[in-house]
Structure 1
Amino acid sequence: MPTLSLQSFPLPLIGLAAFSGTGKTTLLEKLIPLLCTKGLNIGIVKASHHSVDPDTPGKDSYRLRRAGSSQLLLSTPERSICYTEKSGHTDPELMNELQLLDCSRLDLIIVEGFRDAAFPKIELHRQGLDRPLLYPEDPNIIAIAWDIPLTDNPGLPQLNLNSPEQIAEFIYRYCFKEIAQ
């Protein structure tokens, strides 16, 4: 069986790359409904550098995880939550995280974070944060969304960070170019 890679992933995959505080999650909150109106089922992979545990201490799922299960699927009428325990504290690999998704239920995956992984990304840039641009060092940046137009020409499509409609349309056309034409 061939090894799955980011380049051969079976679904369109696009990321938002930016430094912390740029507004990736805020933009995603606006992009998701816009893309859903196009009939797309959207999956999100969000990287976090913080340890989170959305489970409730004392509840059955929490107790079973603490007892040593490697994976626990909590299934309710409204949703399913899959907990996968990891050994060690190494940064997760995007490909491993993507394989946890049920791709048969999705049309598009948007990744927030995993800035160093090699897959297509839109760079978000806010001039006021005084952070360097990522595109000169990352050949996987396919467009730049800014709050103030760039003074130099990066040779990439430039999008208005304050226009989620424009960014959603770019994502749709980029990911579904055969369908959109």
Structure 2
Amino acid sequence: MKVYGVTGWKNAGKTGLMERLVAEITARGFSVSTVKHAHHAADVDQPGTDSFRHREAGASEVLLASGKRIAMMQELRGAPEPPLSDLLARLAPVDLVLIEGFKREAHPKVEAYRVAAGNPLIAAENETVRAVASDTELNFDRPVFDLDDTAAIAGFILQEVGL
């Protein structure tokens, strides 16, 4: 599987860019999966559901399956967060995995950058950032795309991974 990331600080436009890239790349005929990093105790389950009750009772893993989707919830219960490579190994094969976050991992990335967020460019200190998608013009040593030019960003990523 090919892997490419979207990184950036909070409120830089990562999630919107990810959403648009998934739509654009799948419309071009490629299969795409995503991995999203969260810095908080994200929970996709709701109190009161059967699966939530299973986890609360102490289950290490709960697999929720229906005719429409499957969800796997795993409680770390104090164990360290698994590395990205372990998470990727759990995915079914696809043409491309887009990764949101994980800015310190070694995979290639495009940085979402909004000047109003007031943060420095991650790319200035991180060579794994291969391009910047920005809402302002930048004079930089790597490609800079308009943050809203999804087709151009998708084309760049697909070229980078050889698809």
Structure 1 length as normaliser, TM-score?
Answer: 0.82
TM-fit CA distance, 1:89: 7.1
Equivalent residue of 2:35, what SS?
A: strand
1:50 pairs with one of 32, 40, 59 = 40
TM-fit CA distance, 1:107: 1.2
2:2 pairs with one of 1, 12, 15 = 12
Instruction: Work out whether 1:33 is the aligned partner of 2:23.
Output: yes
Root-mean-square deviation over aligned CA pairs: 1.7
Q: What is the rounded CA distance, in whole Å, between the counterparts of 1:27 and 1:13 in structure 2?
A: 16
Name the residue aligned to 1:136: 124
Equivalent residue of 1:81, what SS?
A: strand
Q: What is the rounded CA distance, in whole Å, between the counterparts of 2:9 and 2:82 in structure 1?
A: 18
| Structure 2 CA distance for partners of 1:78 and 1:115, relative to 1, 3 Å | same
TM-fit CA distance, 1:116: 0.8
1:122 pairs with one of 89, 110, 126 = 110
Instruction: Work out whether 1:175 is the aligned partner of 2:133.
Output: no
Name the residue aligned to 1:153: 140
Identity rate, percent: 34
Name the residue aligned to 2:92: 102
Q: What is the rounded CA distance, in whole Å, between the counterparts of 1:91 and 1:78 in structure 2?
A: 28
5+ residue gaps, structure 2: none
Q: Which amino acid aligns with 1:95?
A: S
TM-fit CA distance, 1:93: 2.4
Structure 2 length as normaliser, TM-score?
Answer: 0.91
5+ residue gaps, structure 1: 1-10
Q: What is the rounded CA distance, in whole Å, between the counterparts of 1:89 and 1:159 in structure 2?
A: 39
